[in-house]
């Protein structure tokens, strides 16, 4: 074959395999065009279902919104505020700490007699998925003042004292006192329970007002829903809810020292050098003295 001769097909001539591939691509394109496309409106229910499922999981295991129903936590929280409550850490065994604002289920009829608003159908659905607080659940929100093993007291005209340490409470509602309306203690908080008080002290039916119930005013830890971590609504009041510095002061966690000083009680019964202990201490010398006198009298006789 001479140099420059053609090699069997002209340049640009389509090969058989190229033709087959082009025909296959054209056929696939025709099938895609003929296949009906799923409309947005048909996929919308699926998207909503997934969103609701995620919301339910978040409400159950992560975080839930609660509405503030009263003025008992002013000025920290206002009536109508929405707070987000951490429900995750309790799953890992975390318990409330001093100074935390916590939401808890009614432990012993604290809300008996309080009116319960009747939600409409939309509110019932939204509450089920965690987008609105449930009106059926009777929940309260207060500040944790003392935890299990702590000794707490408050005398009229004085501050709240935890394990011998006075609390500096700037969060108390302006014009209120620490406990003048209902002084208490000293008492020791049982293990597995907490002592709670509202920041609006003279407008809060807290642990102080329920010391005659079955829990003696304490809130069982297993009744705690979680810690309120942020005010989420209204946006103009958005704020976090940190633990006040007074609950981090040195020595406030020294429960053993408070017990050794006799500053405690379980419920309403005094412990340490209480009345019974002092009575026994005084009776022993008298009994020993009387026994010696009787012995001397027999010997002399």
**Closest CA relative to residue 170, chosen from 159, 180, 183:** 159
pTM above 0.75, yes or no: no
The pLDDT tens digits for 18-51 are 555 666 566 665 555 555 556 777 777 777 777 7
At 107 the three-state DSSP class reads coil
Residues of the chain with pLDDT > 90, as a percent, come to 49
Q: What whole-number distance in Å separates Cα of residue 233 and Cα of residue 114?
A: 24
- Which pLDDT value is given to residue 177? 97
pLDDT digits (tens, 9 = 90+) for 242-279: 999 999 999 999 987 765 555 543 333 233 333 333 34
Q: What is the DSSP pairing of strand 101-105 with strand 151-154?
A: unpaired
Please give the pLDDT value at position 199. Answer: 98
What average pLDDT score do residues 173-195 get? Answer: 97
- Domains of the chain: residue spans and CATH: 48-112+119-265 (2.10.109.10)
Does residue 113 contact residue 239 with C-beta atoms inside 8 Å? no
Residue 72 among the catalytic residues: yes
Range picked from 226-230, 263-267, 293-297 for highest mean pLDDT: 226-230
Say what the pLDDT of residue 41 is.
77
Q: Which of 142, 165, 193, 223 is catalytic?
A: 142
Q: Are 237 and 231 in contact (CB under 8 A)?
A: yes
In 3D space, the residue among 257, 227, 254 whose CA is nearest the CA of residue 242 turns out to be 227
Average pLDDT of the chain is 77
Active-site annotation holds for 70: no
Instruction: Select which of 59, 72, 87, 193 is catalytic.
Output: 72
């Amino acid at each position: 074959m001479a140099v420059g001769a053609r090699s069997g097909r002209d340049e640009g001539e389509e090969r058989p395999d190229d033709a087959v591939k082009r025909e296959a691509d054209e056929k696939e394109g025709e099938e895609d065009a003929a296949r009906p496309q799923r409309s947005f409106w048909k996929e919308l229910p699926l998207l909503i279902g997934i969103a609701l499922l995620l919301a339910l999981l978040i409400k159950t295991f992560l975080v839930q919104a609660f509405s503030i129903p009263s003025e008992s936590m002013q000025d920290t929280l206002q009536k109508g505020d929405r707070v987000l409550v951490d429900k995750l850490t309790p799953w890992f065994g975390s318990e409330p700490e001093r100074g935390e604002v916590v939401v808890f289920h009614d432990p012993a009829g604290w809300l008996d007699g309080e009116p319960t608003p009747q939600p409409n159908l939309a509110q019932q659905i939204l509450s089920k998925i965690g987008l609105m607080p449930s009106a059926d659940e009777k929940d309260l929100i207060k500040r944790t003042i003392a935890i299990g093993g702590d000794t707490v007291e408050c005398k009229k005209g004085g501050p709240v004292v935890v394990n011998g340490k006075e609390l500096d409470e700037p969060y108390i509602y302006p014009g209120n006192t620490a406990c003048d309306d209902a002084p208490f203690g000293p008492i020791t908080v049982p293990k597995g329970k907490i002592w709670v008080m509202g920041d609006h002290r003279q407008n809060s039916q807290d642990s102080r007002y329920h010391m005659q119930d079955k829990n003696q005013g304490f809130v069982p830890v297993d009744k705690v829903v979680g810690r309120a971590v942020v005010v989420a609504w209204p946006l103009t009041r958005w704020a976090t809810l940190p633990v006040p510095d007074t609950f981090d002061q040195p020595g406030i966690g020294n429960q053993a020292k408070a017990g050794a000083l006799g500053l405690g009680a379980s419920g309403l019964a005094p412990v340490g050098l209480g009345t019974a202990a002092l009575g026994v201490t005084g009776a022993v010398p008298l009994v020993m003295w009387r026994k010696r006198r009787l012995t001397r009298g027999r010997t002399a006789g």
